[in-house]
Amino acid sequence: MQDDKQSSIAKLLERMDGSPGFAGLGASIQTISKLGDDVGGGTREMTATILRDAALTSKLLRISNSSRNARGGRNVSTIDQALMVLGLNTVKSVALSLALLGSLSHKPQSNQLHAEIVAAYFCGRLAAEITRMNAPRHSAQEAQVCGLMQNLGRMMVTYYLYEDIERSRLLQAEKNLAEDEAILQILGISFENIGAAIARHWCLPDVLQNSLAPDIGKAPPRAAANAQMWHQLCSSFCRRITETLFRQPESREKIGIANEIEFFRSALHLKESEIRELIDRCLLETDSLLAEMSFPSNVEQARKLLRKASERVLDLLSSSDRLTQDSENMGGRAPVEVIQQVLRLIHDKYSFDHTLLCLPDSSSGLVAIAGVGNNAIRVTARFRCYGPKPDLFRAIMARKIDMFIADVGLPTYAKLIPDWYNEVVGARSFVMLPLLSTEKLLGIIYADYSEAHASAPLELAEGSMGEWRKLLSQALQSENTKLP
């Protein structure tokens, strides 16, 4: 593991140093983080720094003149005026976001990187507001820069070592691992430790390096004795809140936030009601500023995309079910392990919002036994079709053919959609794919999109999807399967 760790860091730093398009980011972060807190005293130097960057100048003037910041209809036409209107806090945030965006955008993984920048911006904004509210003697601007850098390691690995990210996703699907677990097995080191190594390599200011130190212990920390300790604890809290909001299932969000507030309560003087209100406000303010910047992702899109990378496939089978027992036909693996892997691969390939495996139950029922996606636990547990009232899902099941529904809101379909579906799932488009063996229905793949899609994904019966359907059919070739 130690050798893997050193090898991964060395490979990453070598690629970073050799990249012309990214070589200046470390220097940009240093310059931006050192901009003075005293706007009046440092205006000339700051204005000169900003004017050297045409994109930053344009964005700041545009944001200054937006409806949210316009004051009395006055037109802001100079950087000096923009600094007065926006304040140093916003100027630093926009500068860092643009530095990241300009360096990270032109890659196949750009959507993932855009989402990471949204999460970073929220983290920085939350850190600044907590510092301003609970520790005004410390610099809110420093807090914001420290917060913005918290997912630096994750962004750099996604940019430079994307082949390792793809390997980790295959491992994640194969072994049903969490994202962090898979990355640790592939790279031998966590994203947080990589971020700390990069900060040292770039010789960033001590306060930034210290804020990226990942280990603060398992016991609730004591109150910060100085500015560096405050920024480390505040950044760590904001990183964990950001992880909860942007990477954990929605069903775990409330308890996750409560646990983090309790852990850092004494160290950061936190009050739960105040922090929850502040979190909501920072999410809204993040969205507003990103819209003014014409940023290619918003908060909702970023949370949806980043959560997908963290989802595990769930199953509702008991230990006595045959699908959980090792099978020679499956190469010594339990059929449920194959099911978990294949569902994850299907989910990722077609970017579905939910992907479920359903089994026929009794003569006409349909029950989901495994799934991945947004709130997968709740959706899989509630996906149950029974009773005398007909529904669209059992009607499709009875026909045993591939079926894509572009819009469940159309009158033809709406009257056959069960109430629980609108409440629990709420998808606009879905596809159902039967798994057959000599005309016998073994199961059905159900997959959906929250927004309406005009047409079905390509190659649902051939190519990789054809092979995956064969694997699922093989995994279900077990008589007397017991349902939960």
Q: What is the pLDDT of residues 400-448, one digit of tens each?
A: 999 999 999 999 999 999 999 999 999 999 999 999 988 899 999 999 9
For residue 479, the model assigns a pLDDT of 45
Cα separation, 255 vs 237, in Å, equals: 15
Query: How far is the CA of 298 from the CAs of 52, 102, 122, in angstroms?
Result: 28, 17, 11
Q: Which residue has the tokens 């070592």?
A: 161
Distance CA 77, CA 222 (A): 47
Q: What's the pLDDT band for 478 if we cut at 50, 70, 90? A: low
User: Which phi and psi (to 5°) does residue 205 adopt?
Assistant: -55, 150
Nearest to 33 by CA among 142, 159, 195: 142
Q: Count of alpha carbons within 13 Å of 450, Cβ hemisphere only?
A: 13
Position 375 pLDDT exceeds 90: no
| Residue 134 near residue 270, CB atoms below 8 Å | yes
- Quick: pLDDT tens for 55-69: 566 667 667 777 566
Q: Per-residue DSSP letters for 312-328?
A: --EE---TTSGGGS--G
DSSP tag of 222:
P
Q: What is the pLDDT of residue 230?
A: 95
Q: According to CATH, what is the number of the domain 313-475? A: 3.30.450.40
Residue 394: pLDDT over 90: yes
Triad 239, 163, 29: Cα angle to 5°: 40
The Cα–Cα gap between 344 and 464 comes to: 13
pTM of the model: 0.74
Quote the strand ranges of 48-117, DSSP E: none
| Maximum C-alpha span of the chain | 81
CB atoms within 10 A of CB 38: 9
Q: What is the CATH number of domain 2-309?
A: 1.10.3210.10
Nearest to 314 by CA among 257, 404, 383: 383
Q: Which two tokens stand for residue 348?
A: 């990722």
Of 14-28, 124-138, 244-258, 275-289, the range with the lowest mean pLDDT is 14-28
Domain chopping of the chain, boundaries: 2-309, 313-475
Inter-helix orientation angle 272-292/299-310, to 10°: 110
* Domains 2-309 and 313-475 equal at CATH topology level: no
Cα–Cα distances (Å) from 162 to 108, 158, 350, 399, in that order, read 9, 5, 19, 42
Residue 208 and residue 100 in contact, taking contact as beta carbons nearer than 8 Å: no
Check pLDDT > 90 for residue 95.
Answer: no
Distance of alpha carbon 431 from the chain centroid: 25
